[in-house]
Amino acid sequence: MRERILIVEDERITAEDLREVLGGFGYEVLAVVATGADAISAVEHLMPDLVLMDIRISGDMDGTETARILHERFDVPVVYLTAHADQETLRRAKQALPLAYVVKPFREPEMQAAIEIALHRHRQDRKTRQRQHHLNQVLGDLLLGVISVDAAELVILFNPAAEELTGWTSAEAIGAPLRSVFRLADSKTGKLEELPLDEVLKRGSLHEIRNCSLVMKNGERRSISGNISPVPGIDGFTGAIIVFESEAAAGGDPHLGSKFKDSVDGNTMQFGRFQVVAAAAPMKQVLAFALRVARSRASTILVEGESGTGKDVMARFLHYSSDRLAGPFVPVNCPAIPESLIESELFGHDKGAFTDARAGKKGLFELADGGTLFLDEIAELSPSMQSKLLRVLEDQTFRRVGGIEDIEVDVRVVAATNIRLAEAVQRGRFRVDLFHRLTVIPISLPPLRERAADIVPLAQFFVQQSVLKHKSKVAELSREAIEALLGYDWPGNVRELRNVIERAVLTEETETIQLSSIRFMHVPAALPGAAHRSAETPPLFADLSLEHAKRELMLRALKQTGGNQTKAARLLGISRDMLRHRIKKLQLKLEDSMP
């Protein structure tokens, strides 16, 4: 689409020359006017992309006053074109914030360059303002104190709760160095502490604020807790968000307070029936930050992490530890829904919207009203669906397929991805505006190899779950099995650990899981005894699928009973008919079970 330009010039010959030159550049000239009043009227009705304006024009208003009104009312960029370049004219011209200043007589290449640069700067400035507006929308009304800073550590957002907690006003804080309005001291010694912003931005790591007092503007000190989280951008981390609250407020809410209700072992965080296992410090920091985010009014949250790190568990954690826990939690696996059906699934459809739409149907957004919609692997959505999703995230309204009425919902959207969205944006696979919408409050899950302290507690938790599920007599892990688990690097993360443990519970014949029942996807070099396996020992690293485990378990039972299906079924805890059914389904060869 050609950019549309309005010319404001009272010299007729010059105006016509400009029209011809701009047309030659490929721009569309909407109109030529001679006064400021006519320029304001034309902009209001025609909405040009840019105004090319002489400073000295006919009428009661000169070009500088007209440009100021256009900037304030319509956010339209102005390029001055004038024969006057004296200091007084320049001083007055700057007040309207022009994007370029071209002196007559102009040369055509200079004119075109000035217009192109002005258009580009205005587009970039508008994107920045839209992102800032979105930040204010998402973070401005949070119950927690929120401060956002850019890469230069200058404050760009200071919400009302931050004003109340620090004593500084937003007007005083915005544009100031963070260290001048957010000072921390050690709660015990009273000594001022250095904020670790450099480390947060350099390493992209989450930092927990604890055992600290906030030094307020009036010099008083208030005990606070919180987190400092990096904010990802297209070219790396673009800043950080500080989320904090007073310790008194945190301790006053038994359900949503920042104090976790620990189990006896101190590793299981429980909210009603929902549990999260975390023993490692990095994971506990992430959970503390996530809990504060859950308590906020943020309508969009992004969860990033490698495949298998537990993004679905984090989404449920955010739901069940928020004031939305009584509402529905609706998970959606985006890649599993065909492109032709995804819009109807998310937004619903009216009767007759397409050939098979014999009745109207609510979409998942409507079903999640009052609760949380979890969009797993959001990067797999098509560009078209990304555009439609963006509108819903911004307005919390949508239309069903084939519908004409806007439907308003109150939904928190938790999106998850196992790839870096910034790289997807750079490759043109993900919309930059949707990226900015999602990354206001990002939560990054560390891989299991970076939180080794979680391996054993998670393994024990999965043993308990598998024993209940499969009615097994297994009670614990052997020391050798634990050493093997700790010596593995877990490329499949928590999901792989869960599968390994479930398979071990299914195949173990004693009450203690032995090393022989632990089987991985890849051979870890540090695995105890890995180099001394005898031929009689089953292969340590085999197919991890449950189907394979069931097959091997049935073969083992049949071998142990000499092929007697009645006795084998009794060992497996199933009926003889069920055993026959599974033998047929899995296409087992009974001769494989013979001694």
- State whether CATH 3.40.50.300 applies to domain 300-446: yes
Does the fold of domain 449-593 match that of domain 300-446?
Answer: no
Alpha-carbon distances of 295 from 10, 209, 229, rounded to whole Å:
59, 17, 16
What would the CATH number be for the domain defined by 449-593?
1.10.8.60
Cβ contact 46:30 at 8 Å? yes
pLDDT digits (tens, 9 = 90+) for 158-184: 988 899 899 999 999 999 999 999 999
pLDDT digits (tens, 9 = 90+) for 534-548: 333 344 444 555 667
Q: What is the dihedral of CA 427, 428, 434, 435, to 10 degrees?
A: 10
Tell me which DSSP letter residue 215 carries.
E
Where along the chain do its domains lie? 4-129, 140-252, 300-446, 449-593
Distance CA 142, CA 160 (A): 8
Please give the structure tokens belonging to residue 60: 């009661």
The fold of the 140-252 domain, in CATH, is: Beta-Lactamase (3.30.450)
pLDDT digits (tens, 9 = 90+) for 278-324: 888 888 888 888 888 888 778 899 999 999 999 999 999 999 888 89
Q: Residue 189: count other Cβ atoms within 10 Å of its Cβ.
A: 8
Q: Quickly tell me which residue has 């072992």 as its tokens.
A: 265
Architecture of domain 4-129: 3-Layer(aba) Sandwich (3.40)
pLDDT digits (tens, 9 = 90+) for 348-387: 988 877 777 778 889 999 999 999 999 999 999 988 899 8
Of all residues in the chain, the percent with pLDDT exceeding 70 is 84
Residue 95 pLDDT grade (very low, low, confident, very high; cuts 50, 70, 90): low
pLDDT for 415? 95
pLDDT digits (tens, 9 = 90+) for 189-198: 999 998 888 8
Please give the structure tokens belonging to residue 43: 């902009």
Q: Quickly tell me which residue has 């519908």 as its tokens.
A: 403
Is pLDDT at 500 greater than 60 in this prediction?
yes
Of 547 and 532, more confident:
547
Task: Name the E strands within 41-181.
Answer: 50-53, 78-82, 100-103, 145-150, 155-158
Task: Write down the pTM of the prediction.
Answer: 0.62
Find which of 49-53, 129-133, 207-211, 531-535 is predicted with most confidence, using mean pLDDT.
Answer: 49-53
pLDDT for 539? 44
pLDDT for 404? 83
Is pLDDT at 96 greater than 70 in this prediction?
no
Q: Quickly tell me which residue has 């258009």 as its tokens.
A: 119
Residue 85 pLDDT grade (very low, low, confident, very high; cuts 50, 70, 90): low
Task: Name the E strands within 418-564.
Answer: 442-444, 476-477, 512-513
Please give the structure tokens belonging to residue 595: 């001694």
Nearest in space to 360 (alpha carbons), one of 375, 350, 370: 350
Residue 257 pLDDT grade (very low, low, confident, very high; cuts 50, 70, 90): very low
Distance CA 490, CA 458 (A): 13
